[in-house]
Amino acid sequence: MNITDLDKKLSTLEARHHELEKLMARPETASDPALVQKYGREYASLNEVVGLYQQLQKTRAQIAGIERMIEDGLDPEMKELAFEELASLRDRENEQGRALRLALLPKDIMDDRDAIVTIQAGAGGDEAGLFAADLFRMYTRYADARRWQVEVLDTNESGIGGYKEVVLEIHGKGAYSRLKYEGGTHRVQRVPATESQGRIHTSTAKVIVLPEAEEIEVEIRPEDIRVDVYRSTGHGGQSVNTTDSAVRVTHLPTGLIVTCQDEKSQIKNKAKALGVLRSRLWDLEQQKRAAELGAARRLQVQTGDRSEKIRTYNFPQDRVTDHRINLTVHNLARVLDGDLDPIIDALITSDQAEKLAAGVEE
């Protein structure tokens, strides 16, 4: 997008922003909650872009003012200072222009949703289950640091403190927009606690990250599901193993099975299980559409194929390597303690750079 086209687009968005202000101020709008929500959502979506555009216009006005001063004639000392200020303002103009291009990139409509994270032990037997438990702790710590709420929906424990599978829902602003980069196969290289000869083993775990889907996006017909109830197992309070509160929902057309035993209430467990099922059905539909389109360019750091190895946690070398962007960070213990922002920030930056280079437009 060249400068002229960019300015035209931004001018149009600014005009729409002003128009929405007037529309929301109308009495007939105030009396219609649906209209208030519609206009308010659009207005909020334009705030960032319009604010950045106004900052850019201010910088351009300052540049024009200094250029006029130079043309009108200045003494040598003042002229030198003017040129220094002009160089600084042009750097700012370039930075603001790049920020605007990033703000104009198409947004993932699911970025504001909560995230449903499934961690599954892969190759490596008991060690893979222990690694799945490490990842569970890592994401829980990361969520705590960002003040997100974590709900464990279902667990399938292994015998030595690991997990065959654990499903959790993470509630919070930006949860899916950041955690979606965690989807894929994670690999660990270390000496297992059960290894007597000190040999390094390689194990894997798969992480699946889905946005929470709403009922209006995915319809689940009652005749398409079978609901089974059973007694909860594992750690819990006095209610564990005393009531049939755990729920297993089977989606007959696809064969998808979701279980939930976190709540003491069968009704609540069913509602949560249906929520996870809804997200998995939404994901199946997205995969189907992507396969049909086929020609859409897959960017380097998007979640991609879940069978793809995305990251290695190497204990002997105290390093974590993300293979999608060839990023290596040290202090592995800190990463496993939830310090994921440096990695995720780098993935987001690389993703944005790829989109800018590809000339992605709305």
CATH number of the CATH domain containing 166: 3.30.70.1660
pLDDT tens, N- to C-terminus, the chain (362 residues): 556 677 788 888 889 899 998 998 888 888 888 888 888 888 888 888 898 999 999 999 999 999 988 888 778 888 888 889 999 999 999 888 888 887 787 777 788 889 999 999 999 888 999 999 999 999 999 999 999 999 998 888 887 889 999 999 999 988 999 999 999 999 999 998 767 677 889 999 999 999 888 766 778 888 888 988 887 665 444 444 456 788 889 999 898 998 888 767 888 888 888 888 988 888 888 777 666 545 333 433 444 344 569 999 999 999 999 999 999 999 999 999 999 999 999 999 888 888 777 764 44
Q: Order of strands across the sheet with 246-251?
A: 225-230, 246-251, 256-260
Shared domain check, 278 and 234 = yes
Is the domain of 202 the same as that of 168? Answer: yes
Domain boundary among 53, 83, 104: 104
* Residue 298 domain-assigned (yes or no): no
User: In 3D, which of 264, 291, 299, 285 has the Cα closest to residue 213?
Assistant: 285
Q: 331 and 286, same structural domain?
A: no
Q: Name residues whose C-beta falls within 8 Å of residue 23's C-beta, 6 or more positions apart in sequence.
A: 29, 39
Are residues 194 and 204 in contact, defined by beta-carbon separation less than 8 angstroms? no
Do residue 209 and residue 311 come from a single domain? yes
- The CATH number that applies at residue 48 is 1.20.58
155 in a structural domain: yes
The answer on 9 and 98 residing in a single domain is: yes
How far, in Å, CA of 276 to CA of 258, rounded?
Answer: 7
Q: What angle do CA 13, 18, 23 make, to 5 degrees?
A: 115
Q: Are residues 18 and 91 in the same domain?
A: yes
Q: Are residues 174 and 150 in the same domain?
A: yes
The answer to whether residue 109 sits within a structural domain is no
Longest dimension (CA), the chain: 90
145 and 274 in a common domain: no
Asked if 94 and 18 sit in the same domain, the reply is yes
Of 70, 104, 138, the residue at which a domain comes to its end is 104
How many domains is the chain built from? 3
Query: 94 and 73, same structural domain?
Result: yes
Model pTM score: 0.68
297 falls within a domain: no
* Residue 362 covered by a domain: no
Q: Is the dihedral of CA 147, 115, 330, 333 positive or negative?
A: positive
- Can you give the residue range of the structural domain that contains 253? 222-292
CATH number at residue 241: 3.30.160.20
Same domain, 308 and 197: yes
Please indicate, yes or no, whether residues 38 and 62 belong to a single structural domain of this protein.
yes
- Domain final residue pick, 69, 104, 139: 104
* Residue 344 domain-assigned (yes or no): yes
* 48 is a domain residue: yes
**Size of the chain, expressed as the number of residues it contains:** 362
Cα first-last separation, the chain? 11
CA–CA gap between residue 78 and residue 70 (Å, rounded)? 9
